[in-house]
Chain A
């Protein structure tokens, strides 16, 4: 399953690369170089995130997480998860590794999903480092306000469905 997905990803890369190459070699070379540079820049972060996440998971106290974000924590648990998610530093791996650890330590799915959603939408570091410098201010704040209810909606949906 995971290999099919990976193959698909690379077929897509090849197709887009070809489309670029057809339009011009310079375009293709630029794309290739930029992609490679992004990869190299990301590498240390990915390494730290992936390798460190196991240790974070190992030291998370399961009783506390179970109590605060467990199946009986209800709306309050979701609220805590949302605040925690917004305060978690950005970067691609940290939020996922903490969520995975929380799930293993007894947190319930809706609360974990609320955490992941809030982290994806509001992570302080991504907001400050990426969004504020690249986007117009008005749009950024509008997005932030318009996104506030989303983690609660998603968590509520998960509670109603009883999935995952």
Chain B
């Protein structure tokens, strides 16, 4: 067996595992709750509006589901590959404790372009923190991923809302990671004594 993983980083300290995977069951209580809600809604439609309406909605949503499938697959693969390619030393340099406003900007861009769902993003953010990213930058990163992440927009939002609505929503969200990052730095500066146990 050859030593091929992880990517070569001769000067960096032994990198922490980027992906600390937790078991994610395909079905859990929240999914069950949602399923119950959806079934109830479907039952109401069936009994109130008749079977014709029921099947009309079903066909429409099945087509939407088929449209979404490929994108979900692409998003999952993107997240998996990218998490393995993250240049760790660069991350520490660009969004570390001394990175200032530029660090927030870099974190914002990073969050917006890094694909993947919560499966990838929280472990990556956690790893960034361990590697020396500062709290403001990490918060900016998470906020940016949450509100401006393009894979989410492509995969989930555009099928529902169309590109124009989504475009405006993302445009309006552009300043939010910076605001949250600055606020977070402010909060941490005042709470620092109470919070020293980083992992």
Binding site for B on A (CB under 8 A): 1-2, 5-6, 9-10, 12-13, 16-17, 19-20, 23-27, 30-32, 34-36, 38-56, 58-59, 89-94, 96-97, 99-100, 103, 109, 113, 116-117, 120-121, 125-126, 129-131, 133-136, 138-139, 142-143, 145-147, 149-150, 153-154, 157-158, 161, 163-164
Contact = CB atoms under 8 A, between A and B. Distances in A.
Interface of A is mostly: helix
Interface of B: 2, 4-8, 19-22, 24-28, 30-31, 33-35, 37-39, 41-42, 44-45, 48-49, 53, 57-58, 60-62, 64-65, 68-85, 115, 117-119, 122-123, 125-126, 129, 135, 138-139, 142-143, 146-147, 151-152, 154-158, 160-161, 163-165, 167-169, 172-173, 175-176, 179-181, 183-184, 187-188, 191, 194-195, 197-199
Given A54-B61, A146-B139, A163-B168, A35 B146 contact: no
26 contacts: A6-B70, A9-B151, A12-B78, A23-B7, A24-B5, A30-B5, A30-B80, A31-B80, A32-B77, A35-B76, A35-B80, A40-B26, A45-B31, A45-B34, A46-B72, A55-B42, A90-B118, A92-B155, A136-B197, A138-B197, A146-B187, A147-B143, A149-B179, A150-B143, A161-B168, A164-B168
A34 B61 CA distance: 28
